[in-house]
């Protein structure tokens, strides 16, 4: 047996270009930009009632996308994101009403609270495995609710009102609400899209598909999970601050309402987990269903619950999963496609 | 004396929590599944029991004899219809499926029984008490604690001594290896869930006797069961029992400090255990 030495000729890298955008993506991006502009310009074309409805829809989208980042990419299935919504909402009321800070500055200041709380909470909760993590997040939300119910700083169980808003005219408030809606979607959806297109996005998608394999390829899974958890806390905090600013009132049961977990899970599972398109589809379906069938109360929630159950059993990729299997036309393309210009 | 009384009441409350926690410990130990509708199943069984007692004038013991087999059947059905399709290494499908089931069950119960609180008439045992050295102890909480101890002992023995227990522990350790030795994991899972929900039949009767039940109460029961299991340490039946005692005592003392602080005290002890001893008091590191 003789050893043969295979000489390695230097290989020229093939002259290819990386294509990241698709025609469908360009159309969707144009529509998204137009949509954001229309959203920010709402006071000039929509009634106060419409603005309030759209604001609720934007909060659904933001919270659902944060849940999607957590559950769909980081494998962190939280059912307690309302903890951060309520914490930021309360922070806004304390900053603006109690401390007299300008409410539109206080909205942004209040985001510090979920960010600061999320750090120690993650170090507690990440010790819980899979499904136990979920109920752990729920316990935390319950602790927040009970603490708020007993804390004189936030007027205990009676709740607080944002009376300082009355110094602004209805038009001024509408301008602020519309601007905040546009900003919220830009940060949560735009931010997620930017994240998924960056090199973190590659790591996130690898982690979504298989955390062990991703770790073996050099992805720092633990660090990425931590960052996503804090980012999602801030995103949910923004939604909470904007939502309760529009509500003008906050009390412990509304601030830490588990309904938000139901909404986020329903939207993401029906729309399609692990995609931004799914969140948009799911939010629209939920928003319309809520308008049409909300009056049926309990029966409506029985149907929502059963639909969530059926999706988990038979159609885990949701509506967007079924659409994208048939038509390859992503609205927010994140794939890198190699194109050989010689062919 | 006041604090000793709080301690005793806490232990008795722990007996109630142990009845929720055993089933959860069993299901998580075997399948790595947390059934989010765990508490809603207790409430459903309670409400069915109360309605039967009202309609046919049944005593609590008769209701218990009906509810336990009904719970066993519901557990078997839950496993066959839902959980067998979602059991696996990814925790997401089982969580979402049982989460959806929980929302559907809660609202279905709201439709059938309305939001009112109800309780099970107990033919006088709920108001009887024993005087032990100046502390009045309710007879019913003592019965609850005795039953909880009996259930824990029985379940522990079943896991250690019987053929089913061995199959169950084998499936929990390594499903594929267990399947190679001739164990049918699906059958083991179905039996485990049937036992878990069957135990909830006991919890349902005692919960409805001790206090009241309303359709929205399930979430709190789920959280207490979960905290007990984590405090005690996963994968151990006696761990879940001791965890329930710790939770009950924390809440009992908390309630004595301030009525608004009781439940919160339990949560805080849970978080302290999680921070300092994440494997639980009795778990192996």
pLDDT in tens, A204-238: 888 888 888 888 888 888 888 999 999 999 999 99
Q: What is the DSSP string of A159-227?
A: -EE-GGGGGS-HHHHHHHHHHHHHHHHIIIIIHHHHHHHSHHHHHHHHHHH-HHHHHHTT--HHHHHHH
User: What was the pLDDT predicted at A325?
Assistant: 81
Lowest mean pLDDT among A141-145, A315-319, B8-12: A315-319
Compute the nearest-CA separation of A72 from chain B (Å). 9
User: Where do the domains of chain A lie?
Assistant: 36-257, 258-326
Among residues A301, A302, A151, A145, the alpha carbon closest in space to that of B223 is found at A145
Q: Does the distance separating the beta carbons of A146 and B103 come in below 8 Å?
A: no
Compute the nearest-CA separation of A70 from chain B (Å). 11
Mean pLDDT of chain B: 87
Q: Which two three-digit tokens encode residue B226? A: 């979960």
Q: Does the distance separating the beta carbons of A135 and B223 come in below 8 Å?
A: yes
Interface contacts A/B by beta carbons within 8 Å:
131
The CATH code of domain B2-276 reads 1.10.3470
Q: Quick check: B120 and B53 in contact, CB under 8 A?
A: yes
Q: Quick check: A197 and A20 in contact, CB under 8 A?
A: yes
Q: Which two three-digit tokens encode residue B68? A: 């336990």
Best residue of A157, A207, A309 to probe chain B, by most B CBs closer than 10 Å: A309
Q: Quick check: B14 and B244 in contact, CB under 8 A?
A: yes
| Mean pLDDT computed over A159-164 | 88
Q: Does the distance separating the beta carbons of B270 and A309 come in below 8 Å?
A: no
ipTM: 0.85
Q: Which two three-digit tokens encode residue B71? A: 């719970």
pLDDT of B50 strictly over 60: yes
Residue that wins the pLDDT comparison between B47 and A72: B47
Q: Does the distance separating the beta carbons of A298 and B99 come in below 8 Å?
A: no
Q: Which tens digit of pLDDT belongs to each residue from A54-65?
A: 999 999 999 999
Nearest CB to A305; choose among B103, B111, B271: B103
> pLDDT band for position B234 (50/70/90)?
low
Q: Which tens digit of pLDDT belongs to each residue from A147-160?
A: 999 888 888 888 89
pTM > 0.90: no
Burial track B176-208 (b if 16+ CB lie within 10 A, e otherwise):
eebeeeebebeebbbbbbbbbbbbbbbbbbbbb
CA dist B99 and B105 (Å) reads: 10
123-162 in chain B: CB under 8 A from chain A: none
Count the residues in chain B.
285
- Per CB-CB distance under 8 Å, the chain B contacts of A297 are 107
Q: How far does CA B60 lie from the centroid of its chain?
A: 19
Q: Does the distance separating the beta carbons of B28 and A312 come in below 8 Å?
A: no
DSSP H/E element including A335: none
Residue that wins the pLDDT comparison between B120 and A5: B120
Among residues B238, B231, B40, B108, the alpha carbon closest in space to that of A139 is found at B231
CA dist B243 and A4 (Å) reads: 67
Contacts of A12 (CB under 8 A, 6+ apart): none
Q: Does the distance separating the beta carbons of B107 and A143 come in below 8 Å?
A: no
Nearest CB to A138; choose among B101, B223, B274: B223
Among residues A268, A272, A206, the alpha carbon closest in space to that of A232 is found at A268
CA-to-CA dists, residue B189 to B31, B172, B202, angstroms: 7, 10, 21
Residue that wins the pLDDT comparison between B151 and A27: B151
> pLDDT band for position A252 (50/70/90)?
very high
Contacts of B119 (CB under 8 A, 6+ apart): B50, B208, B209, B211, B212, B213
> pLDDT band for position A106 (50/70/90)?
very high
Best residue of B80, B107, B243 to probe chain A, by most A CBs closer than 10 Å: B107
Q: Specify which of B45-49, B81-85, B131-135 reaches the highest per-range mean pLDDT.
A: B45-49
B273: contact with A, CB 8 A cutoff? no
Q: Which tens digit of pLDDT belongs to each residue from B55-110?
A: 998 888 899 999 999 999 999 999 999 998 888 777 788 888 999 999 999 999 99
User: What was the pLDDT predicted at A8?
Assistant: 64
DSSP A46: S
Q: Does the distance separating the beta carbons of A130 and B226 come in below 8 Å?
A: no
Q: Does the distance separating the beta carbons of A143 and B230 come in below 8 Å?
A: no
Among residues A50, A60, A53, A40, the alpha carbon closest in space to that of A235 is found at A60
B94: contact with A, CB 8 A cutoff? yes
CA within 13 Å, CB half, A139: 30
pLDDT of A20 strictly over 80: no
CA dist B268 and B257 (Å) reads: 14
CA dist B48 and B53 (Å) reads: 9
Residue A237 exposed, middle or buried by CB count within 10 Å (0-12, 13-18, 19+): buried
Count the residues in chain A.
343
Contacts of A38 (CB under 8 A, 6+ apart): A45
SS (H, E, C) chain B: CHHHHHHHHHHHHHHHHHHHHHHHHHHHHHHCCCCCCHHHHHHHHHHHHHHHHHHHCCCHHHHHHHHHHHHHHHHHHHHHHHHHHHCCCCHHHHHHHHHHHHHHHHHHHHHHHCCCCECCCCCCHHHCEEEECCEEEEHHHHHHHHHHHHHHHHHHHHHHHCHHHHHHHHHHHCHHHHHHCCCCHHHHHHHHHHHHHHHHHHHHHHHHHHCCECHHHHHHHHHHHHHHHHHHCCCCHHHHHHHHHHHHHHHHHHHHHCCCCHHHHHHHHHHHHHHHCCCCCCCCC
Q: How far does CA A234 lie from the centroid of its chain?
A: 10
pLDDT of B142 strictly over 60: yes
| Mean pLDDT computed over B105-134 | 83
User: What was the pLDDT predicted at A182?
Assistant: 93
User: What was the pLDDT predicted at A158?
Assistant: 87
pLDDT of B139 strictly over 70: yes
Best residue of A149, A157, A313, A315 to probe chain B, by most B CBs closer than 10 Å: A313
Lowest mean pLDDT among A4-8, A172-176, A271-275: A4-8
- Per CB-CB distance under 8 Å, the chain A contacts of B97 are 308-309, 312-313
CA dist A204 and B56 (Å) reads: 59
**CA A170, A171, A173, A178: dihedral to nearest 10 degrees?**
140
Contacts of A4 (CB under 8 A, 6+ apart): none
Question: Which residues does residue B138 pair with via DSSP β-bridges, in sequence order?
Answer: B129
Among residues B172, B192, B228, the alpha carbon closest in space to that of B39 is found at B228
pLDDT of B285 strictly over 70: no
B270: contact with A, CB 8 A cutoff? yes
In 3-state terms, what secondary structure has residue A18?
Answer: strand
With CA atoms as reference, the chain A residue closest to B33 would be: A131
pLDDT of A336 strictly over 90: no
Q: Does the distance separating the beta carbons of A131 and B95 come in below 8 Å?
A: yes
B95: contact with A, CB 8 A cutoff? yes
Q: Quick check: A243 and A33 in contact, CB under 8 A?
A: no
> pLDDT band for position A7 (50/70/90)?
low
User: Where do the domains of chain B lie?
Assistant: 2-276
Q: Quick check: B51 and B226 in contact, CB under 8 A?
A: no
Nearest CB to B99; choose among A139, A150, A265: A265
Residue that wins the pLDDT comparison between B106 and B168: B106
User: What was the pLDDT predicted at B235?
Assistant: 67
Mean pLDDT of chain A: 87
């Amino acid at each position: 047996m003789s050893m043969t030495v295979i000489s390695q000729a230097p290989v020229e890298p093939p002259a290819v270009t990386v294509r990241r955008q698709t025609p469908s993506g360009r159309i969707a991006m144009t529509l998204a930009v137009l949509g954001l502009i229309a959203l920010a310009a709402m006071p000039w074309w929509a009634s106060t009632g419409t603005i309030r409805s759209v604001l609720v829809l934007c909060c659904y989208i933001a919270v659902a996308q944060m849940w999607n980042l957590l559950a769909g990419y980081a494998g962190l299935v939280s059912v307690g994101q309302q903890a951060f919504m309520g914490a930021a909402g309360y922070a806004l009321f304390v900053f603006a009403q109690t401390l007299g800070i300008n409410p539109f500055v206080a909205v942004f200041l209040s985001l510090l609270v979920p960010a600061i709380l999320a750090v120690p909470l993650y170090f507690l909760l990440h010790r819980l495995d899979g499904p136990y993590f979920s109920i752990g997040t729920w316990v935390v939300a319950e602790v927040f609710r009970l603490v708020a119910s007993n804390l004189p700083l936030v007027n205990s169980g009676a709740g607080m009102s944002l009376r300082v808003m009355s110094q602004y005219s209805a038009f001024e408030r509408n301008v602020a609400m519309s601007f905040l809606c546009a900003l919220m979607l830009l940060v949560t959806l735009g931010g997620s899209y930017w994240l998924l297109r960056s090199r973190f996005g590659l790591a996130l998608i690898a982690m979504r598909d298989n955390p062990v394999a991703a770790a073996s390829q050099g992805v720092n899974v633990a660090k990425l999970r931590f960052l996503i958890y804090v980012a999602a806390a801030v995103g949910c905090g923004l939604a909470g601050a904007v939502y309760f600013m529009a509500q003008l009132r906050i009390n412990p049961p509304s601030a830490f309402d588990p309904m938000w977990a139901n909404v986020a899970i329903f939207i993401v599972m029906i729309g399609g987990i692990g995609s931004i398109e799914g969140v948009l589809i799911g939010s629209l379906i939920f928003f319309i269903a809520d308008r049409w069938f909300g009056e049926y109360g309990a029966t409506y929630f029985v149907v929502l619950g059963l639909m969530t159950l059926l999706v988990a059993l038979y159609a885990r990729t949701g509506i967007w999963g079924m659409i994208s299997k048939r038509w390859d036309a992503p609205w927010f393309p994140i794939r890198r496609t190699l194109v050989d210009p010689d062919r | 004396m006041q604090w000793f009384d709080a301690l005793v009441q806490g232990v008795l409350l722990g007996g109630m929590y142990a009845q929720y926690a055993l089933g959860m410990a069993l299901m998580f130990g075997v399948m790595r599944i947390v059934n989010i509708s765990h508490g809603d199943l207790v409430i459903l069984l309670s409400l069915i029991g109360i309605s039967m007692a009202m309609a046919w004038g049944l005593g609590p013991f008769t209701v218990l004899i009906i509810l336990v087999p009904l719970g066993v059947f519901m557990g078997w059905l839950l496993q066959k219809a839902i959980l067998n399709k979602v059991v696996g290494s990814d925790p997401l499908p089982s969580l979402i499926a049982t989460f959806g089931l929980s929302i559907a069950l809660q609202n279905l119960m709201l439709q059938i029984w309305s939001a009112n609180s109800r309780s099970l008439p107990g033919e006088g045992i709920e108001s009887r008490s024993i005087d032990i050295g100046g502390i009045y102890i309710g007879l019913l909480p003592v019965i609850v604690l005795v039953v909880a101890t009996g259930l824990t002992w029985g379940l522990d023995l079943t896991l250690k001594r019987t053929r089913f227990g061995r199959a169950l522990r084998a499936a929990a350790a390594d499903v594929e290896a267990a399947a190679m030795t001739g164990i049918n994991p699906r059958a083991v899972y179905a039996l485990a869930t049937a036992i878990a929900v069957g135990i909830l039949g006991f919890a349902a009767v005692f919960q409805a006797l001790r206090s009241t039940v309303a359709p929205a109460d399930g979430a709190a029961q789920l959280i207490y069961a979960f905290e007990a299991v984590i405090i005690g340490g996963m994968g151990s039946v006696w761990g879940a029992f001791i965890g329930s005692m710790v939770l009950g005592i924390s809440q009992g003392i908390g309630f004595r400090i301030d009525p608004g602080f009781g439940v919160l005290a339990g949560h805080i002890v849970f978080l302290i255990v999680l921070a300092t001893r994440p494997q639980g008091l009795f778990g192996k590191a």
